[in-house]
Amino acid sequence: MYPIYILEDDIIQQNRLKEAINRYAVSKQWGDYQCEVFDDGQELLTAFEKSGEKALFFLDLEIKGVKRLGLEVAKVIYKTSPFSLIVFVSTHSEYSLLVSI
C-alpha cells in the first residue's frame, strides 16, 4: 500500500479529499493506510523524503495564492521518486481540462 499525501491549503477541500479517499479505501478493503495532509509544499516534501518510498500524491496546483506551486512540488517528487503517482486537484476552473467528444 502506498502512503498517501495531500497538498491542499483549503480546509474544506482537505476534508473532501480525505473523505473521498476513505470511502474508496473502505470499498476496496484496504484496511490500514497512511494519509497525511499538508498545506505547505516544503513540509510535504520533508515528510516524503523521510519515508523514502513511492507514494500517491494529491496536489493542489495553487497553494496560499502561489500559482503552480503544486506543479513545482511535483517536479521535485518526480526527480526523487519517478514511480510515485501524482494527481493534480484544483477548484480553479482555469486549470480544468476541456474535453470534446
In a domain, 101, yes or no: no
In a domain, 41, yes or no: yes
Tell me the C-alpha to C-alpha distance, in Å, between residue 87 and each of 67, 94, 101: 16, 17, 23
Find the domain containing 29 and state its range. Answer: 4-95
**Residue 100: band (very low, low, confident or very high) from pLDDT cuts 50, 70, 90:** very low
Residue 99 pLDDT > 50, yes or no? Answer: no
Q: How many CA atoms does the CB half-sphere of 7 hold within 13 Å?
A: 31
The pLDDT assigned to 15 comes to 96
Beta-sheet pairing, 35-38 with 85-89: unpaired
Looking at residue 55, its amino acid is A
In a domain, 51, yes or no: yes
In a domain, 61, yes or no: yes
| CA dist., res. 11 & res. 14, Å (int) | 5
CATH of the domain at 43: 3.40.50.2300
Q: What is the mean pLDDT of the chain?
A: 88
The pLDDT assigned to 68 comes to 82
In a domain, 38, yes or no: yes
Percent of the chain, pLDDT > 70? 89
More confident residue, 95 or 26: 26
The pLDDT assigned to 45 comes to 96
In a domain, 56, yes or no: yes
Our count of domains for the chain comes to 1
Grid coordinates in use for 5?
Answer: 499525501
In a domain, 100, yes or no: no
The pLDDT assigned to 96 comes to 60
